Amino acid sequence: MDVIELELRNAMSEPGCPVCRLVERFERTEIETILYEHPNDPEVRREFRGSGGLCTYHAWKVLHLALSNPLLGPHGVSVIYEDVLRSYLSGKVGEDECFLCRLSREKERTLIESIADRLPELLDAYAESPSILCRRHYEEILKLVEDENLKTRLEEVQKEKLRELDARLVRLIESFDYRSEEKPSEDEKRAVIEAVEFLVGREVGPHSRRRERREKRWPLRLR
């Protein structure tokens, strides 16, 4: 078993989409590394300036991570955004794609291809795991699987997981009935979160996919 397979198996051991989870972890690590080690790195600064301070989603994620982690704090992020602000004041408006969008899209692509490649080894583990690939990641993996038998098995596994999730959600709804004497189990309480996660994925990855590129909506120029 290689490192990637191990990483995938670990991500499958928890509820929710393993691809989304790994992209989320990747983004967090990238941001923390930048804030810990590279706020003055010319390359990092160029990337931030180039995109006018990142897309809205990633900029707030950077800020939130910086301000919520006492080990990071406001220093690194202030240094970075002072540089972007000064660049704006000197008349330069970055319109490049946000580099965290770019990096997370690449990471996502690698993960999807890795799962498709290793599906013969991973499918049983996936079937038995509590994880459920979100709709988009599931469909992208399915597109890459060429073996028809394997494809059919993945489809069956996914359908079974979704039927089980639906049944849990129904039980959760029933538990809200005032005549119900049963309290919902932890698995049932999580069902609505898992249903949303399946349908729309976690809030990670390339931002441009979800909303219009915000940077395009910033036609501010200093006159």
How is 133-176 classified by DSSP, letter by letter?
A: --HHHHHHHHHH---HHHHHHHHHHHHHHHHHHHHHHHHHHHHT
Report in angstroms how near the CB of residue 51 gets to Zn ion at its nearest: 8
151: its two tokens? 């494809």
Taking the least distance from each CB to Zn ion, the nearer of 58 and 190 is 58
Distances 128 to 90, 122, 158, 213 between C-alpha atoms, Å:
57, 10, 11, 39
Which residue, among 47, 58, 39, 62, has the nearest Cα to 96 in the 3D structure? 47
Taking the least distance from each CB to Zn ion, the nearer of 140 and 188 is 140
d(CA 155, CA 202): 21
Report in angstroms how near the CB of residue 13 gets to Zn ion at its nearest: 16
75: its two tokens? 């220093």
Cβ-proximal residues to 199 (8 Å cutoff; 6+ apart), any chain = 134, 135
Report in angstroms how near the CB of residue 177 gets to Zn ion at its nearest: 32
Taking the least distance from each CB to Zn ion, the nearer of 175 and 218 is 218
Report in angstroms how near the CB of residue 57 gets to Zn ion at its nearest: 5
Taking the least distance from each CB to Zn ion, the nearer of 137 and 190 is 137
174: its two tokens? 């029933």
Report in angstroms how near the CB of residue 181 gets to Zn ion at its nearest: 36
Taking the least distance from each CB to Zn ion, the nearer of 125 and 173 is 125
Taking the least distance from each CB to Zn ion, the nearer of 16 and 76 is 16
Interface contacts to Zn ion, rule CB under 5 A: 17, 19-20, 55, 58, 98, 100-101, 134, 137, 201, 207
Taking the least distance from each CB to Zn ion, the nearer of 76 and 201 is 201
Q: At what angle do helices 74-89 and 56-68 cross, to 10 degrees?
A: 140
CB atoms within 10 A of CB 97: 18
Report in angstroms how near the CB of residue 74 gets to Zn ion at its nearest: 21
Question: For 16, phi and psi rounded to 5 degrees?
Answer: 95, 180
Contact 92, 65 (CB under 8 A): no
Angle value at C-alpha 158, between 153 and 161, nearest 5 degrees: 125
Report in angstroms how near the CB of residue 102 gets to Zn ion at its nearest: 8
